[in-house]
């Protein structure tokens, strides 16, 4: 690891109960820890909440990002573990949103004793349809998406963010996600998008030994119900909960229900 501390490098912030169980929240593509802000007050009443920005996102140290290290999800999983080591976090409930759900799976599979539970929020182990597996997109769809992103990232952001968010009757949500995307360095976003949409972590699911909650939305254009069901079937002993919510970011569109589901699982209710 570089000499700079992970706390500084990944803009780690800690809030909530000092002696409470630890929740570590990992954000998805094009976002930063700010996307959790509507669920944090509720979670912080019972837990120590640790937030961070992935390297290359938010207020992380952008100089620490390299396409070699972050050309796969493994580099991000390494960072999650390094944060846990530096802060001496144990019995962690790791909450991963979207692509960070698979980052969480990779981290927990490497050091299962470090984590008490996993919460996978709108996860997808593979976005591309493959035989009987339905990821929601054809390879041609993904190639077209990535080509549009690479040729005009700001235009792609303005078009895709509202689709990802859903909730067209609440345009301010799509606008917030658009703005978040647009704050991301386009060169970094291009690499992370390719990693996100072309990764295939289906084989990693069966290796999970940590108690796992899969939280999906009733209507999600990015992760359809088949994906949540597949993830649930592949992770031994996992729990699948469908939120009465629309879109891929329920921590913004349905924060109360999201916080309640995380709390219920984390506390063993």
Among the listed residues 60, 78, 97, 98, the single catalytic one is 98
Six token digits for residue 100: 């960070």
Scanning the chain, the segments in alpha helix (DSSP H) are 6-9, 40-44, 73-86, 99-110, 139-151, 153-165, 171-183, 186-198, 202-205, 225-234, 250-253, 255-266
Among the listed residues 124, 204, 248, 253, the single catalytic one is 248
Cα separation, 15 vs 108, in Å, equals 23
Among the listed residues 60, 204, 220, 232, the single catalytic one is 220
Active-site residue, 220 included: yes
- Bridge-based pairing state of the strands 48-51 and 13-16: antiparallel
Cα separation, 180 vs 76, in Å, equals 19
Cα separation, 97 vs 104, in Å, equals 9
- Which residue numbers are catalytic? 98, 220, 248
């Amino acid at each position: 690891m570089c000499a700079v501390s992970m706390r500084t490098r990944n803009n780690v912030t800690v809030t909530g109960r000092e002696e409470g169980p630890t929740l570590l929240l990992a954000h998805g593509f094009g976002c930063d820890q700010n996307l959790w802000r509507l669920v944090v007050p509720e979670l912080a009443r019972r837990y120590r909440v640790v937030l961070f920005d992935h390297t290359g996102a938010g207020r992380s140290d952008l100089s620490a990002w390299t396409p070699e290290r972050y050309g796969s999800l493994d580099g991000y999983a390494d960072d999650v573990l390094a944060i846990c080591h530096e802060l001496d976090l144990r019995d962690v409930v790791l909450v991963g949103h979207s692509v960070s759900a698979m980052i969480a799976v990779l981290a927990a599979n490497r050091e299962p004793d470090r984590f008490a539970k996993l919460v996978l929020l709108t996860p997808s182990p593979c976005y591309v349809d493959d035989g009987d597996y339905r990821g929601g997109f054809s390879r041609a769809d993904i190639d077209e998406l990535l080509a549009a992103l690479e040729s005009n990232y700001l235009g792609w952001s303005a078009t895709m963010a509202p689709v990802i968010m859903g909730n067209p009757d609440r345009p301010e949500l799509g606008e917030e996600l658009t703005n978040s995307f647009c704050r991301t360095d386009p060169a970094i976003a291009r690499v992370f998008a390719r990693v996100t949409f072309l990764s295939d972590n289906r084989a990693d699911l069966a290796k999970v030994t940590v108690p796992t909650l899969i939280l999906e939305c009733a209507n999600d254009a990015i992760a359809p119900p088949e994906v949540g069901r597949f993830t649930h079937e592949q992770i031994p002993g996992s729990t699948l909960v469908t939120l009465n919510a629309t879109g891929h970011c329920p921590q913004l569109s349905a924060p109360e229900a999201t916080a309640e589901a995380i709390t219920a699982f984390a506390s063993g209710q």
